[in-house]
């Protein structure tokens, strides 16, 4: 596929994601009597199906490579190192937030999950463990992979886009520490991706582990 075709495909996916997310509340208002969270859930499911179909061959290839070149032990080791690195990074971000910017009681990922859970637990589980792991990683990482060959540039650009997209839908003021709380983990996820032959499954597994702990704590009420 030519670069121009890849760019068109990537741009189209970002445009669709932006439009239905930004105008989600308006779309929901067109269906009176139906819960707005249900509408957003359905829209997310449609986008998830579409992006999985778009990258179906990539996912098949990555699964095949995973089976052929990696043992279960090696996969678990890579995921564990990635997970622990992100946990350590969040501790550092929280400490910097307290010392340099403002008090930081929790990492941005946990706070986002809690805010979402206040609306709907079902939607939270789907958005956190399925959509956030599969659709977002295909969009923010895989869709850019064929466009940017240089690993350093790729990691930086993907992290910048991911950070911007996490703030573009909010009208609230945000601080430098909040930006770093998205940007620095995104750098780490991008590094995991390029360090493992750009196999998106490693990022998905690591992000799943990263998301599951605050979700379990939230559900259990600890």
Backbone phi and psi for residue 156, each to the nearest 5 degrees, phi listed first: -65, -50
Cα dihedral sign for 8, 208, 191, 197?
Answer: negative
Give CA separation, 43 vs 27, 34, 50, 144, in Å. 10, 13, 11, 23
126 Cβ contact list (under 8 Å, min separation 6): 41, 44, 45
* Residue-level pLDDT at 60: 97
Running DSSP on this structure, what letter comes out for residue 139?
A: I
Q: Count CB neighbours of 123 within 10 A.
A: 18
Running DSSP on this structure, what letter comes out for residue 32?
A: T
What is the average pLDDT value for the chain, to the nearest integer? 86
Model pTM?
0.87
Alpha carbon distance, N-terminus to C-terminus of the chain: 50
Cα dihedral sign for 140, 7, 49, 72?
Answer: negative
Running DSSP on this structure, what letter comes out for residue 51?
A: H
Q: How far apart are CA 177 and CA 162, in angstroms?
A: 16
Q: Which residues of the chain carry a pLDDT beneath 50?
A: 105
3-state secondary structure 105-136: CCCHHHHHHHHHHCCCHHHHHHHHHHHHHHHH
Q: Helix or strand or coil: residue 37?
A: helix
* Residue-level pLDDT at 26: 80
181 Cβ contact list (under 8 Å, min separation 6): 90, 93, 97, 104, 107, 108, 109
* Residue-level pLDDT at 112: 62
* Residue-level pLDDT at 45: 95
């Amino acid at each position: 596929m030519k670069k121009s075709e890849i760019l068109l495909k990537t741009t189209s996916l970002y445009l669709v994601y932006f439009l239905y997310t930004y105008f989600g509340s308006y779309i929901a208002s067109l269906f009176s009597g139906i819960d707005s969270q249900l509408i957003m859930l359905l829209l997310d499911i449609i986008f998830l199906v579409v992006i999985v179909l778009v990258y179906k061959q990539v996912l098949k290839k990555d699964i095949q490579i995973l089976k052929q070149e990696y043992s279960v032990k090696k996969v678990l080791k890579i995921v564990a190192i990635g997970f622990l690195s992100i946990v350590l990074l969040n501790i550092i971000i929280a400490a910097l937030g307290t010392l340099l910017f403002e008090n930081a009681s929790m990492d941005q990922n946990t706070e986002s999950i809690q805010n979402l859970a206040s609306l709907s637990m079902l939607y939270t589980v789907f958005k956190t463990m399925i959509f956030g792991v599969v659709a977002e990683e295909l969009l923010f990482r895989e869709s850019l992979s064929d466009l940017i060959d240089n690993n350093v540039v790729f990691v930086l650009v993907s992290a910048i886009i991911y950070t911007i997209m996490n703030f573009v839908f909010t009208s609230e003021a945000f601080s430098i520490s909040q930006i770093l709380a998205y940007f620095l983990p995104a750098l780490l996820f991008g590094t995991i991706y390029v360090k493992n032959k750009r196999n998106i499954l490693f990022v998905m597994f690591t992000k799943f582990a990263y998301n599951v702990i605050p979700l379990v704590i939230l559900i259990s009420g600890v």
